[in-house]
């Protein structure tokens, strides 16, 4: 199989007569390797090790617990997926408002959520919904940010009602 891109370590030898490609996998790895990400990866691992994975899990779990408690109290909101031991994501639908609209309105306030079917169309069909809004909480999120999300959702719901 010939390589579709050239450059960098994918070459072994070039003369006017003939080009010899490097061995696999280099033949198919044209260009400069992603050095910056490899360097950054060390810092990402240091960050995780320093905080401790248990602490990170506990923080995420607490954020999820807090967000679930607050968001489930909002009128017209229905949570989708409420398993006990799930990862720190919160999916929900709002009565009468399309997930895309919610996402766009949250975006206008600088809040990033994912909307749509999340690559699980058969599951959405099973629930009889077009999609959900999904907020994800990670180690660098805070309960204050969840308060802002709740406040923004309240505004959206009030506006649309």
Partner 1 sequence: MTINQQQDEIISEFSLLDGDMEMTVFYIMELGQKLPLMAEELKSEENIVKGCQSKVWLTSKMEQDKIQFSADSNTAITKGLVSLLIRIFNGQTADHILNADLYFMHKIGMERFIGTQRSNGFAAMIKQMKLYALAFKTKMEVKL
Helix (H) or strand (E) holding 61: helix 53-71
Q: What is the CA radius of gyration of the chain?
A: 23
Least Å distance between CB 71 and partner 1?
A: 20
In whole angstroms, give the CA distance from residue 27 to residue 12.
9
| 3 vs 116, beta carbon nearer partner 1 | 116
Which lies closer to partner 1 via its Cβ, residue 20 or residue 121? 121
- In the complex, least distance from residue 160 CB atom to partner 1, rounded to whole angstroms: 7
- What is the total residue count of the chain? 161
147 counts as catalytic: no
Q: Which of 16, 119, 126, 159 is catalytic?
A: 119
Written as six digits, the tokens of 156 are 């959206």
The residue ranges that bind partner 1 (CB under 8 A) are 97-98, 100-101, 104-105, 107-109, 116, 130, 159-160
Token representation of residue 145: 């940010």
């Amino acid at each position: 199989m010939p390589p579709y891109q050239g450059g960098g370590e994918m070459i072994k030898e070039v003369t006017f007569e003939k080009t010899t490609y490097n061995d696999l996998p280099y033949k198919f790895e044209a260009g400069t390797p992603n050095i910056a990400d490899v360097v950054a990866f060390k810092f990402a691992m240091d960050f995780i090790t320093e905080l401790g994975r248990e602490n990170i899990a506990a923080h995420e779990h607490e954020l999820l617990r807090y967000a679930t408690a607050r968001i489930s109290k909002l009128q017209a909101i229905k949570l989708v997926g409420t398993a006990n031991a799930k990862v720190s994501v919160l999916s929900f639908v709002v009565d009468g408002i399309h997930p895309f609209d919610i996402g766009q309105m949250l975006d206008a306030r600088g809040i990033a959520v994912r909307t749509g079917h999340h690559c699980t169309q058969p599951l959405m069909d099973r629930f009889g919904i077009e999609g959900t809004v999904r907020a994800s909480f990670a180690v660098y999120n805070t309960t204050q940010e969840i308060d802002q999300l709740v406040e923004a959702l309240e505004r959206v719901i009030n506006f649309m009602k």
